[in-house]
Chain A
Amino acid sequence: ETGVTQSPTHLIKTRGQQVTLRCSSQSGHNTVSWYQQALGQGPQFIFQYYREEENGRGNFPPRFSGLQFPNYSSELNVNALELDDSALYLCASSLELNPRRDTEAFFGQGTRLTVV
C-alpha cells in the first residue's frame, strides 16, 4: 500500500459530460501529479500541483484542469468528455524537497473512466 488513494475506482460517463476524479496524497507529501494511461500504453503526464499551484503540464487541452487543496489532496476535472478520454487515470504523490535527485513517486490504484 502506497498511502495514495483515489476515488472513485470506476466511472462511466456520457460523451460531453464533465467528470471529477479525486486523489489523497501520501502523508507528508506536498506534490501531486496526474497521468492518463490508455489501454496497452505507458502513462502520459497530464499536470502537476505543488503547494496548490500548477507547476507543470503535459500535452493535454485546457478542458483538463485540476486543483490541489491545503491538505495536498487533489482533483482532476475533465470537461466536454470525448470517447478518447476513456483511460485509467493515475495520481502520484511525492515530497518535493529536492526533485532533481531522489524524489520517488508513489501511485494510487487509479480511476478507470469509460466514456460512452
Chain B
Amino acid sequence: KQEVTQIPAALSVPEGENLVLNCSFTDSAIYNLQWFRQDPGKGLTSLLLIQSSQREQTSGRLNASLDKSSGRSTLYIAASQPGDSATYLCAVRPHNAGNMLTFGGGTRLMVKP
C-alpha cells in the first residue's frame, strides 16, 4: 500500500528565505507526482506535475524534483514571500489505481514579514 509522508509538518520562516519541502513515498511504481497549494478552508491549486520519467519541473520561484528510485520529491521555493503562506501537499498517482491520488499530510508554511 502506497504511503506518502511530508516533512516537516509545519515550517515558519522569515520573508526572503529559500526553503525546501520534502515528500517521500514508499512505492516507486508511480505514474506521476503532483504538488498542490491549499489556503485555509479552500480547495487545492495545482502547482507542478512531474511525470515519472522526469527529474524536475519549474514554475516561477518554484522548482520540484523527483527521485523515483529513492521515493523522494522536494519542492524548492526561492525568495519566500508572506503570500506563500499556505499548506503544501504532495500526491502520487500509483500504478494500477486509475486516476486515484495518494496524498501526504501536508506541510503548513508560514512566511513572516
- A-side residues, CB < 8 A to B, are 2, 4, 6, 31, 33, 35, 40-45, 48, 50, 55-56, 58, 88, 90, 92, 94, 96, 99-110, 112
Q: Is the CB of A109 within 8 A of B99?
A: no
Complex Cα gap A45–B34 (Å): 15
**Are B103's CB and A100's CB within 8 A?**
no
Known A-B contacts A42-B89, A45-B101, A107-B36; the reply to A100 vs B42 at CB < 8 A is: no
A90-B44, A107-B36, A107-B43 known; A56 vs B100 contact (CB < 8 Å): yes
- Interchain CA distance A88-B103 in the complex, whole Å: 15
> A96 to chain B: which residues have CB within 8 Å?
99
Q: Is B60 an interface residue (CB 8 A)?
A: no
Question: How long is the Cα–Cα vector from A43 to B104 in the complex, in angstroms?
Answer: 8
Chain A residues with CB under 8 A of B32:
101-103
Q: Which residues of the other chain, B, contact A109 by a CB distance below 8 angstroms?
A: 42-43
- Contact indicator A107/B106 (Cβ below 8 Å): no
Given contacts A56-B97, A100-B95, contact A42 B34 (CB under 8 A): no
- Interface contact B52-A101, CB-CB below 8 Å: yes
Query: A42, B105: Cβ atoms under 8 Å?
Result: yes
B53 CB to closest chain A CB (Å) equals: 8
Which B residues lie within 8 Å of A58 (CB)?
A: 100
A33–B105 touching, CB < 8 Å: no
Q: What A residues does B100 contact at CB under 8 A?
A: 33, 45, 48, 56, 58
Q: Across the two chains, which residue of chain B brings its CB closest to A47?
A: B100
> Which residues of chain A are within 8 angstroms of B6 by Cβ–Cβ distance?
42
How does the 8 Å CB contact mask read for B94-113 relative to A, with 1 for contact and 0 for none?
Answer: 01011111111110000000
Give A85 Cβ to nearest chain B Cβ, in Å.
Answer: 17
Residues of B within 8 A of A56 (CB): 97-100
Q: In the complex, what distance in Å separates the CA atom of A66 from the CA atom of B103?
A: 21
Separation of A80 and B95 alpha carbons in the complex (Å) = 33
Question: Residue among A6, A102, A110 with the most chain B CB within 10 A?
Answer: A102
Q: How far is the CB of B102 from chain A (nearest CB, A)?
A: 7
